[in-house]
Amino acid sequence: MTAPGEAHDIFEPSSDTESARASAANEGSNVCRAAALSSLLQEAITPMRQLAAEQRALGFSPLMIEAGGQLWRERDPLRQLDDVPLLPGDDLDGARVRRWAELNATANPRRAVGFLIAMLGSDLERESAAAAAALWRGLGLATRQLPPPGPSRLRLYERIYFDLDRGIRNVPGALPFPWWGDGGRGVFAGEQEDWEPERWQEIYTRLIFGSRLERDTSFETFVVTALARTRLEGALRSPDAVTRSLALAAVEFPEARERPTLQPPIEPPPTAPGALTLSTIIHGTWGWKGGWWRPGGTFHRYILDTHRPNLYNRGAKFSWSGAYSRSQRDLAVRDFTEWMNEVAPQGIQTLFGHSYGGEIAARATRAGNRIHELVLLSTPVTEHVAQASDGDVRIVDIRLRFDPVLAVAGTGQRLPARQKVTEVLLNRWRLDHGATHDEQVWRSEDVARRGRV
């Protein structure tokens, strides 16, 4: 595994069945496989069909690509595990290879869940986090009810829940994350936690093998849920940006599942005559914590010095909460319109937006603001973003070849082909959702020239 802090984790995808084994060389492919299975378990059929070539490169069979996860949710594979749980002494690598081969031969979602459960026990940080994220988001574990009370020998789930330290703690009535109430900001309140593979595998072994003491589907469901939640709690505090981003993609806060209450758009003032005066950047989810987009930040300085000398570089920069919720993005669009009316009444030349910051940027164009060009950086293709591609604004769409963060979330990764849309896919396969706002990536991949930025 690439050590935390190294840049963007270039890897070569493998279609070989044996590459389903845990190894540093295979980790990139296995992270992407897990992320793809998250999308398929959510029946994100259209987004995955747009990535057929990428799935083939990762070893998905023609049958799997054609099936595209159809009817997987209706079959509820977690409640029909059959031989998916593991026995003491099982070879996890052997189980992974066997289940990956069976999945590609049958397109059976139970084999997908079995593959992810085996990967969850990996001693590689990103693999285990990707498996936890895929299980949590793909199976909707956050909203599942715990099993009903049963015989006393099966009621472990009512009393105990192993955490990442040691010992036992009470299990709540459900398994929410404790920081949901603050929109997720509390995830950053604690100290970072280094990856300790031996400790994780001890927890995994206790629970996953314990689930076989009694063949009880409800208990097995609880064990998978508890393991995924435990792994995600650790991943959210990892020093490794890739691991954190995979976990964050899995955690959709309750507010984000509500239908947003849209406020009437702010009417922009009449556009003053004259040249477009500035460009600016909108960070993505949780991006307020980073410095790359701020004046003086790495990417900001690179764009200012080499491509947009009119990039906003003063004190009253635009920022938003970065919370993973629709209502916060609604508010961000309104706040950006107010900011633009005050700071850039003559319009914006280029508006850069990373991840969900790109959705905010796309919605700002549709709100009637005078914006000449959008540069989308790893932006999910939501309905708002797709609609913006039908407008008159030029769009430069810069992406990873396969973005595991977007795949975990089940969102689209390809804009429709349009005359005003220029797509730039990074040539090398990478895991880091933030690679598209990295100066060295822009230089090595010749992004500015290819996108005519």
Tell me, yes or no, whether 257 lies in a domain.
no
Q: How confident is the model at residue 154, as a pLDDT?
A: 44
Q: How confident is the model at residue 181, as a pLDDT?
A: 46
pTM: 0.87
Long-range contacts made by residues 143-151, C-beta under 8 angstroms, separation at least 24?
144/78, 144/221, 144/225, 145/174, 146/171, 146/173, 146/174, 146/175, 146/222, 146/225, 147/216, 147/218, 147/219, 147/221, 147/222, 148/218, 150/216, 150/218, 150/219
Does 233 lie in the same domain as 377? no
Range of the domain at 42: 10-147+173-178+193-251
Tell me, yes or no, whether 373 lies in a domain.
yes
Does 305 lie in the same domain as 224? no
Q: How confident is the model at residue 357, as a pLDDT?
A: 94
Q: How confident is the model at residue 223, as a pLDDT?
A: 82
Express each pLDDT in 434-444 by its tens digit.
999 999 999 99
Q: What is the CATH number of the domain that holds 399?
A: 3.40.50.1820
Tell me, yes or no, whether 325 lies in a domain.
yes
Tell me, yes or no, whether 290 lies in a domain.
yes
Does 219 lie in the same domain as 283? no
Does 241 lie in the same domain as 109? yes
Q: How confident is the model at residue 155, as a pLDDT?
A: 44
Tell me, yes or no, whether 378 lies in a domain.
yes
Does 395 lie in the same domain as 247? no
Does 397 lie in the same domain as 302? yes
Ranges under pLDDT 70 in the chain: 1-8, 79-89, 145-190, 209-219, 252-276, 287-288, 322-324
Express each pLDDT in 93-132 by its tens digit.
999 999 999 999 999 999 999 999 999 999 999 999 999 9
Does 296 lie in the same domain as 229? no
Q: How confident is the model at residue 207, as a pLDDT?
A: 79
Tell me, yes or no, whether 393 lies in a domain.
yes
| Helices and strands, counts by H and E, the chain | 19, 7
Does 292 lie in the same domain as 206? no
Query: How many domains is the chain built from?
Result: 2
Does 86 lie in the same domain as 207? yes
Does 202 lie in the same domain as 331? no
